[in-house]
Structure 1
Amino acid sequence: MTSPQPFKNRVLVLMVCLFAPTAWLAAQDQRTDTVPTRSSVDTVTHPFPVHIDSVETALRIKNLNPYFTLHVDSTLTYRLEINKDESKFYWYLRNSPVGLRINKDNGTLTFKAEKSYFLSGKLRYDNEYRVNIGVQSLDNPTERVDTSFAIVFYNTEIVPAKIKPSVNSTVTIDEGDTLSFKVQCDFGSFPIDNITFLSNMPIKNYTTVRKCDDDFTWSPPFDFVKDSDPGKEKIVLLSFIGTNRFMVRDTAVVRVIVKDALNYPFALQEYNLAARNINTYVLQLKYTFVQLDKGVKKTKGARTGFDITSSTTALTGTILTSSTSTGAQQTGKILPSVGVSLVPIKEAVAPQKVFDQNQASSIRSSIKRLDYMLQDNAVVGERDPDISKKTAKLKDELKQIQIQLIDIPLEMTRDMSEKDLNEYFNSPKVNKKYRLKK
């Protein structure tokens, strides 16, 4: 009789043989139903986990830099990446600055900041350029990303600021003229904050320049140039020193040549004084002429009376001598002698004033000459350049006539006004009496 233990072992082996194929098939069916999807992680066949993109994953740029700074004459090469297969997408730029490019296949940004772009004005330093960039699917137009970044160009080269006056470095002006110009600046890398003014000699009445675009105005006085200065001119050096916040200086020098010029207001006063002296002297001559002419006229009247009386006496005597009366004949013989005796009486009582008449004629010609000189040397315009010459001519002419008429006593007639004197002097009788005769 067999033992019960071997029997149990046989039963177990038989059960394993019956259920083993069924379990194996069930295991195979279970593995077929759990095939991993694209988004799952295969931890059986791959030693490292691999992420497989799914349709639901959003498109994005992984390494976009929102701000670029680029030095002049340098080169930019920057490749942008996305989270999907780049072969199925293309890149593009909008409103990009001159010279910036992108590779539409792999998204590589390239740019060479050439200095010619900035010198021509196409690009500017320290100006933020906003660039729109995008990436889009070749298969699905709705799958796209639009974003932007900024790019700024800078320059480490120091451009010095300059002071540039709005006039040439050498300016020539006359005394009394006004020098006016604007002090301009080229700001460069660092603008000029303050301007200091210096001069090689003291000057007055000028406007102070403190900052750029201020006006400098100065008018040299008429006595600025001295007679001892060489060439009757003086050189003034105007220095404008500009400084920036780092106390870097730039100096502009304007060389001003001031020439000796006529003090026209003073010259005009001198001319008016000379003309006034001539008018006063002419009035004195007219007063004297009136006195001389009246004396000549009175003497002429007296002599005419004696001549008429003498002629009448002689004619009466001639008539009486032809009378039949003896007494009348005797009287007629005496009367011619009486007429002859009146001649020495006439010369004694009313001698001819030839000297006075000659003096009156000389005074009248001098007055006419002075009037002509005043008219010929009148001031023309607001600023006559020959006013000094005209003043000298008037002075010389007045001096010559005063020397010529130095022996004539200038008598003042108080009972006649200037108008009465002019009317008397320019009357037709006087002009007829003293006109030149052939």
Structure 2
Amino acid sequence: MMGASNMLELCRIPSNRFLFGTSKLIKGSRQIPNRSFYPIMCLCKEIQTTTAEKIMGASYIPDTKFKKETKLKVNEPVVIEGVGAFQKLPMVMPSVDIIQSAIRKAKKVSATKGIANIAKRERNRGAKQLDALMKELAVPLRLYTESFPNKNHLHPYERSLIELTLGDGNYEEVLSKVNNLRKKVTAVAKEHASVCAKSLTKKEAEERLNEGMKRVEAAYYRESKAVDDLLNIAKTLRAMPVVDLETPTLSLVGAPNVGKSSLVRILSTGKPEICNYPFTTRGILMGHIVVNYQRFQVTDTPGVLTRLDEERNNLEKLTLAVLTHLPTAVIYVHDLTGECGTSVSDQFTTYTEIRGRFSKHLWIDVVSKCDILHESPSAFITEDLTTDDADLARYRIFGPEGAMRVSVMNGHGLDELKEKVHNMLISQSEKIRRQIIDPKCDATPT
């Protein structure tokens, strides 16, 4: 009964007589007069498609509008909020390997089967090989330009790393050169493939194929240095330490050669280079601390000198980038012996500036090398001690107010420092958690 009802409903639907005018079913003796049959399969397909689109849209908005909205969402640029985009960079091959691999694969391409005429078969093979060479070169170059992130979509910390380690503008310039190389190689290969396809004899096709291969190779080598530059950029960026913004981070800051790296070795798993000369730390070095099964990050930063920001070198700017863009707690290390090469008064000036600029950070002041300072505090002082500044006079003797005195050589104060660091990192963890829940709360800017 239900089947008969469905058929009657179907009969009422107008249809195209032209499509089914020659059908034997319609011409049969049981044809219903003055009725047009509609194909059941087409009707089912229409019902299925419409229903699916409306369910996906979760409303009865017209399908065309829904499709437009979906397309806009797909094309929107993805903004990378976290840190770690450099670890997803593709492995860039050396320029020589790319061209040699492309030529080797292109020469293996054979003509289309079934072509009896020798001249036609040869020109078909030549055109296909040039086309294959174009694709083998263009695909990796396109992958590189599309896989390297847009600098504007990176986290501010990573943007700072690009500008300070690669130079402002160098990153985009190299990517642009690689993209231009892809376009030139594609144009030359297409041009010679077209010429080769118009050859009249086998010999002419072979000559045009060889000429085309040489022209494409020459066009590639003319600007292949951009690929090698991109390879070096990828190596540099991939070596950058990944900082988890949700993991509490401890940053050691101070003048060059005051003992920051030695403390990093004591406090964490990090193993930075330790030498008795300034700017031993030539980048951001990472270590970790594990307390009660909770993992914390430790960064060893390059030393900071007393001068204007415009006069600072890139190593100093890396330190300021960490403090500016990452949610870090700070251990500021002071050397009152004068042994580090930076006078105590200069350290005081730099400390006052940095402390005032990043006053919202959790902070511990540490006076290092206290074993030497205790035994002969005046032996290393090389500056005029007469001053009317009471704060500076007190700083020369005791360091900042509340500073801890430690010594890596005899272990003095290290246990107390570790306990204080652990408590500060737990406080930093709670601070980061509050910042995630309420971004407007008073916390270190990220």
Is the TM value for this pair above 0.5?
A: no
* Structure with more strand by fraction: 1
